[in-house]
A and B are shown apart, each in its own frame.
Chain A
């Protein structure tokens, strides 16, 4: 099992979770060492055990044997019969549904969390949580009068107001329509940028993970199949079956140039650059971009007279089967950048592709994640 290396002992805020659980139709066996900062995504299909992991960390799911430490504090060590009940674990938990208390208005819901935190332990102030999630105008409203997105923002603010050491989020966007999702994502990004609280974010949506997460743990059938920094893990070629049609590479870029005549912007990264539709951000801004493998085609000669804007010289680093008809390739650019391409086996044979070969990648579309 490719279990992650043991946590850096010096990092006092690191999170270590080790649990085994055997139910009639599902078994879980994980050993995860997670960084004590930033957003860690638990990613996998439904039924892979993501939510169960989160519930174990929270103490909502008992396991026969489990071990949970957060920042040097032992929450659970069943070899030593230590088990802190949920209400003694300093965590915030955001469920799929907002689950606001129906007998309180929004202010009452937030106050429920806030007044249960001893003043000495308050690390998140009332004003900062209200401002960060933009719930000020909603304070006097009843939960039933809020939209799905508003409700979820209140639920996140409520979780923050319990001054957690760690924020656990279980697919907080999955119950929302795409417009509400798009509206709430910027708030989650602010959370990431402005708070020092580590977040564990469960999701089966690669888009969300690529946009929000710093660290990625992939689960399949109750086992950890990969873990590491998000770009590095998403760019791995041996995992694409887990991603399906969403297989793609993540590029960390900087906004390098605006072209006002054609309303385009250029993103530069180690080994190349990408032209995208005009971005309303200052030059030099960091942008995370994602290129799906199915949007990359390959040619041996530099293409002339093509409508494709983004053409890059690359070299083949790895070739991997993906089903009977398709091949995934990892393409290297510059020192460390990577593109993934998905082509048919026939094209691969006709072009006589082999590791080390230099050729040109044409990128049909680019998704900006931040």
Chain B
């Protein structure tokens, strides 16, 4: 493995880790709202969150590029705030990945919250637990399997993204050249041995992640 390969691996892990943490922070309140609201906006927001499931990543990347570029309003905003332009930076990739992997994090958490039902929360309320108390002492612990699934899927899905990265991040070594792009480069350069190393590693990684996930979720719950 070359230094260039290792850079790509490290960048990919950093991107996936940052994205997953950010998605858990943003996705949990969103999933809670979706699981409990009776607002008519529920279906609209739910559809928007699910959009990346069906949209080609290049389409998503293209629009994000326009939005975050010098002419887009997000671009205007980031420039006004002194952050500069996001496309072709690590920050831009994080923002793109958050949107791209959103459904893989929000939906498992939302399903887990919905499965708890209202009765356990009513019991907790009758035992003097206020809304925040109920959320942290009942909803979060009971939704734990959903959070595990969400973290693993969000992380793995970000590791595997390609089209969006290429559109939004380009191919800058150490900055936006993630593993999937690196593999593409090696194949283009006909360096199959290196491509094999990386591709097989990724295959193994994905398999182990899914194996752990299924093994954990198949284990009979101890309560």
> Which residue numbers of A lie inside 8 Å of B, CB to CB?
58, 60, 85-88, 90-93, 95, 97, 99, 101-103, 112-113, 116-117, 142-144, 158-159, 162
Contact = CB atoms under 8 A, between A and B. Distances in A.
A107 to B, nearest CB: 14
Contacts of B137: 112
A85 B126 contact: no
Contacts of A112: 124, 127, 129, 137
B121 to A, nearest CB: 10
Contact of B119 (A90, A92, A95, A144): A95
Nearest to A58: B126
Q: Which of A92, A95, A112 has the most CB of B within 10 A?
A: A112
Interface string B118-154: 0110111111111101100110011000000000000
A102 B120 CA distance: 10
Interface of B: 119-120, 122-131, 133-134, 137-138, 141-142, 221-223
A143 B120 contact: no
A93 B223 contact: no
User: What 7 A-B pairs come out closest when comparing CB atoms?
Assistant: A93-B126, A86-B125, A102-B223, A116-B128, A113-B127, A103-B141, A99-B123
A85 B122 CA distance: 11
A347 B127 CA distance: 57
Question: Which secondary structure characterizes the binding site on chain B?
Answer: helix
Contacts of A142: 222-223
Contact of B127 (A85, A88, A116): A116
Nearest to A155: B123
B142 A103 contact: yes
Contacts of A92: 126
23 contacts: A58-B126, A60-B126, A85-B130, A87-B126, A91-B126, A92-B126, A93-B126, A95-B119, A95-B123, A99-B119, A99-B123, A101-B120, A101-B123, A101-B138, A102-B223, A112-B124, A112-B129, A116-B127, A116-B128, A117-B128, A162-B126, A162-B127, A162-B128
A102 B141 CA distance: 10
A144 to B, nearest CB: 6
B167 to A, nearest CB: 43
Given A95-B119, A99-B120, A85 B223 contact: no
A86 B128 CA distance: 7
Contacts of B141: 103
Q: Which of A95, A101, A144 has the most CB of B within 10 A?
A: A101
A162 B124 CA distance: 11
Given A60-B126, A99-B119, 16 more contacts: A60-B122, A87-B125, A87-B128, A87-B134, A91-B126, A95-B122, A101-B124, A103-B141, A103-B223, A112-B127, A112-B129, A112-B137, A116-B129, A143-B223, A144-B223, A159-B127
B87 to A, nearest CB: 44
A159 B126 contact: yes
Contacts of B129: 87, 112, 116
Nearest to A143: B223
Nearest to B144: A103
A158 B127 CA distance: 8
A158 B125 CA distance: 13
Contacts of A143: 223
A88 B137 CA distance: 17
A97 B123 CA distance: 11
A93 B123 contact: yes
B98 to A, nearest CB: 30
A60 B120 CA distance: 13
A103 B116 CA distance: 12
Contacts of A87: 125-131, 133-134
A158 B123 CA distance: 10
A86 B223 contact: no
A158 B133 CA distance: 17
Nearest to A99: B123
A99 B124 CA distance: 10
Contacts of A113: 127-128
A92 B126 CA distance: 6
A59 to B, nearest CB: 8
A238 to B, nearest CB: 37
Contacts of B122: 60, 86, 93, 95
